Chain A
């Protein structure tokens, strides 16, 4: 199957700093990538849909100025958590589908666990 890779897997930062998480599709081109957040024992929550070459589409309640998404190439999307605070500590996961597969399997990255001190 297709491969999606995230980096870093774990990150610890101080409150007020910014953290960048990368999501790469390794063997296919992804015009669209999805960013999720998951708190312990809760469901995946879609934060935003990243679109190559254009602005991301954010879900209701997600601050676009705090969670900056850049999809500069067909294989890379980045999520930057700006001025992180302890309540931003969570598991962040990206996913993508190969082109032409709207109803196909969604491939997930390994996830990035963010801890803000």
Chain B
């Protein structure tokens, strides 16, 4: 079956760094997306990894290891506005995104 595993909730301090891990099992693989979703809003795109390695985009970086079925999202210099849910979504062989429940990140001053 297809499965996504992310921590349910994480807490971090403003200005710090946090890493959100994701392990996945899918039928085929066409890359992995990270989305941010604020409460009551639709998801917004953060990153897409299809090859192994680290993709850096400003304060956010995303890493992928296809052999391990593992990805992480790294958020630096945390700001209060980063409080949101972070969704790891691998794409299967049919180009369908597989969604988990996401990780709720709480930023404290």
Contacts and interface: CB of A to CB of B under 8 A. Distances in A.
Interface string B66-109: 00000000000000000000010001000111011110000000
A41 B101 contact: yes
Contact of B33 (A1, A43, A91, A106): A106
A98 interface: no
Given A44-B87, A113-B40, A107 B45 contact: yes
B99 A44 contact: yes
Interface range, A side: 20 to 34
- Top 7 closest pairs, chain A to chain B, by CB: A108-B42, A44-B99, A111-B42, A43-B99, A43-B101, A105-B45, A102-B95
Interface string B25-53: 00000110100000011111100101000
Contact of B42 (A1, A103, A109): A109
Chain B contact surface mostly: loop
A46 B87 CA distance: 15
A110 B87 contact: no
Contacts of A46: 96-97, 99
A33 B100 CA distance: 20
A108 B91 contact: no
A103 B40 contact: no
Interface of A: 1, 6, 41-46, 91, 93, 102-111, 113
A102 B97 CA distance: 11
A108 B89 CA distance: 14
Contacts of B41: 110-111
Nearest to B50: A103
A6 B40 CA distance: 14
14 contacts: A1-B45, A41-B101, A43-B4, A43-B87, A44-B43, A46-B99, A102-B95, A103-B50, A104-B48, A105-B45, A106-B33, A109-B42, A111-B42, A113-B40
B100 A106 contact: no
A43 B30 CA distance: 20
